[in-house]
Amino acid sequence: MHDWALSTSQEHRSRLLRGMAAAVAAKGYGETTIADIVREASVSRRTFYEHFHDKAECLIALYEAASRNALQVLREAIDPAQGWEEQVERAIGAYLQCLASNPVLLRTLFVEIQGLGSDGLEVRRAMHREICDFLLQLVNAGTAPHSPMTPEIAMVLIGGMHELVLQAIEDGQVEELPALTATATRLLKAVTRA
């Protein structure tokens, strides 16, 4: 396949993911149709089916892409010149700011993914594990004396933080997510204190 064909295909996929986000934000996942998605994406139904089997597969792809983007934000927030506690605080702050920057997508990812049942749960858990692995590497590579973080503690921290995010969504306070940085950082320091 030619480079131009690849870039066109990638552009269509990207447009479909944005179309899915917009349609679900407007109508909710249950009410969203393929017609809604392709209308929002300005592509044909045929183009949709070239990329996705159904709307569930499209929502899962959107969830994975957005989650990996948020994880990249975490990675880019790291400054190896800083101590592990400062690095963690910066990473958590950047992550929460990233989530707050797109309330429409945030609701889709934190609320609507649950409408997919076991498939949604599976992809949500897989992405949580990736974030937990990042947190484990960051904290356990730190030079300060502290107890090593276990995978279970990392999952509790990420799960707890995501519940706070969900509560902020439900309370209409998404713009205040970055304020949770101090709470999440305090909790992390408490559980890793020697």
Tens-digit pLDDT profile for residues 163-175: 999 999 999 999 9
Query: Got the DSSP string for 9-63?
Result: HHHHHHHHHHHHHHHHHHH-TTT--HHHHHHHHT--HHHHHHH-SSHHHHHHHHH
**What is the pLDDT at residue 55?**
94
Q: Is residue 175 part of a domain?
A: yes
pTM of the model: 0.84
**What is the pLDDT at residue 85?**
79
Identify whether residues 91 and 21 lie together within a single domain: no
Q: Is residue 4 part of a domain?
A: yes
What mean pLDDT is reported for the chain?
Answer: 87
Residues in the chain: 194
Nearest to 66 by CA among 114, 23, 18: 18
Predicted confidence (pLDDT) per residue in 31-44, tens digit: 999 999 999 999 99
Domain extent for 145: 62-192
**What is the pLDDT at residue 5?**
52
Share of the chain above pLDDT 90, in %: 41
The amino acid present at 122, given as its one-letter code, is: E
Q: Which residues of the chain have pLDDT under 50?
A: 4
**What is the pLDDT at residue 4?**
47
Identify whether residues 47 and 66 lie together within a single domain: no
Domain count, the chain: 2
CATH of the domain at 12: 1.10.10
Identify whether residues 37 and 88 lie together within a single domain: no
Identify whether residues 80 and 45 lie together within a single domain: no
96 burial (CB, 10 Å; 0-12 / 13-18 / 19+) is: buried
